[in-house]
Structure 1
Amino acid sequence: MTEAPPPPLSLPGYAAVFAVREFRTVFAAHALSLLGVVVGEIALTVLVYDLTGSPLLSALVFALGFLPYLLGGTLLSGVADRFPARRVLVVCDLVCAGCALLMALPATPVAALLALRCVIAAVAPVFTGTRTATLADLLGTGDLFVLGRSLLRMVSQSSVLVGFGMGGVLLTVVPPRGALTITVCTFLLSALLLRLGTRRRPARGGSSGGLVSYSLSGVREIFGHRRLRALLLLLWLPPMFVVAPEALAAAYADEIGVGTAGVGLLMCAMPVGTIAGELYAGSALSPGTRSRLVLPLLTLGLLPLLVYALGPGLPWILTALVVTGLSGAYTLGADRWFVDAVPEELRGRAMTVQTAGLMTIQGVGMALAGAAAEFWPVGTVVAGVAVVGTVCCALLAWEVRRTGSRAAAAGRGPKDETGLTAI
């Protein structure tokens, strides 16, 4: 298991993570690349609509942000283990910067714009998986890793609240292609930070065989391990269901007559709850407590969405969304279980697959929720999602507990701060 630098024990919670110099660099690079992604998505959406006048092609910009994740996360996952992490991260940023630069050129046609969007989306899970695996090198696989990953996740959630608004304001000042040049700069700055601010570490995996076969062998190994398979589903399944209210926010706002301001509130409520839940769990709860809360939060987290069936009005709906968002704090304990269960030589591929699957399954959840809303009222659909999701999560909790018990019996279970196996 990777050795962490000595943790600054005098510092509490997240402050201890920021005390690690290399993490500060990774954090800043993450924020910059996220800024580039958000600005680029908005600018590209507006640009494609301006060039074509087609709502379908404009919407494809966002759809193409999900679809290539699965391809890149499976066929290219071996990159995260086969090559030194710093090199992978820098090259990924440079590829994304090159794609954004080509998008910004006036001569680039619409088909090429969409193709370049696909390339960025295919690179994204490799970058994210490599960076997550690198966190274990920077922070170890203990509580600092959990808190470091939580911080990066909160930045991603915050981008939903802040980034799109900033991007919209930016486009009132500069044209879409000009905004894309800002995306180029953010990716280049991220690459520079990672190159100069992190140290070179050797690759984890071997070099024999082709990259695709190496990647797929890792995927087979991950899914062939019952405990890893259960923990992957633990990190994937709740997000598949919780995206339904956000995917249907515009339709629900129209259904209850609250206008565009209501859409914004419905979109923001759950991310606010998620950030608050993670901040509290990471700052105030011990690792053992976070571990013990995983399965209860997993099982009960979707139940507040049942209020949609009653049509109680916007304040109650927003409260339900915030409470469901709070249950996202289960991920801190789940992250610890997952990193403890994954062999070090498989870590990069496992984190890449986890990232790719998470994005893909959220896209599937959005599509299924939208399809269901074609036949039933949105309130009925979201309440139905809460019922189905709760049943699925309860079954998954049973499987996770069972595999955890078996791992403990074999002496492989992750331990909490009391020394007891965390299941």
Structure 2
Amino acid sequence: MFRLLAVIALLFGLIGPLSAQETVPEPRAETGGAQTLDDILRRQNAQKVDDEFRRRNIGDPEAAPALSSPLGTLGGASDADMWRALRYDVADVTTLQRGPAARTLIQDGGMWWLQVRRGPLLVYGGGLLVGTLVLLLIFYLLRGRMRIEGRRTGRTITRFKAIERFAHWLLAGSFIVLGLTGLISLFGRKLLIPVFGLEAFSTVAIVTKWLHNNISWAFMIALVMVFVFWVAHNLPHPSDVKWLLRGGGMFGGGHPPAKKFNAGQKLVFWAVILLGTSISLSGLSLLFPFEFNLFGHTFSALNDWGVPGWFGQDPLPYPLAPQEEMQYAQLWHAIISLVLTAVIFFHIYIGTVGMEGAFDAMASGEVEEQWAREHHSLWLKDLEPTREDRIRRSKRA
């Protein structure tokens, strides 16, 4: 009899924990559905908080008390319920303005964008540009200017036609204006307002925005022209590997052979084309807000492919509010522009003070024959039959 009672007690002891495991208590039962201490601590530690309980708590018009009732909320939703509905963009909103973003009155997701724009974007972006200039200055002091080593011949060779130079200077000029106006827009609030005041900066900001928006079209047109003119000359070639292994001749004597564009120029070309295209696309989405969306569709595709999981990350946010599309586009536009500006600093350095004779190629289109022989010997070799034919024809005439 004692053994039978022990077995029954043991069975009840096993069933008890099993039933307790099946019944999982509601984590917010003690708070009446409100946030818990764990929610607050997770939010303070910048961890993800499941706010589905807030999204659902937006009132219930069907459960509204009678008008004669002294208790309850009028219409079935309190002020807090209404603000939660506005915050999560589920409220029935009617506005005079029509458009994708007209119904979104509260978009609290923009706080992260504001914090990134005020902090890391300015710090790291400014550090990238200043650091690049410092590195170039140090390199110039250590290496000096790359001179033409051989004896000048006094003969010149046409390197770029007039239409090519026009496309280059249109691209360069528009990029400089866009870069300056973009930096004013990005750093102006932090650096210029304390110096010139709000009213003066307001005038500068208005002019800056107008220039940035309109000159962007010249940049995009020039980008297409440059691509069409030079893409065939910027495809990979076996000589590029030797050029890279020897550092382009910047260290030590002699220059590695190269075609019309060496490996360094090809890297700059593709950086300008790829980054410039990305800047143009994000710029178009900013010029035509809520009409040309890039990031929502991209995030959805990346989530479908499981890309965030490859890096142990949560799925990317989707769907995006119209304002969030603009915020992602603005950050992307600024980050890629800063990277391309750093690349262009190197390009400007080599084309001006860094290398003797390089600027002539885009100034007059003509370069000294000895310069071409030292820096682009393969290109010069390809031109020699044509030059010999011209000499023969001139002698016959």
Coarse TM-score class (shorter-chain normalised): under 0.3
For normalisation by structure 2, the TM-score amounts to: 0.22
**Highest CA radius of gyration, 1 or 2?**
2
Bigger helix share: 1
Higher RCO (Cα < 8 Å, 6 or more apart): 1
Q: Tell me the TM-score normalised to structure 1 length.
A: 0.21
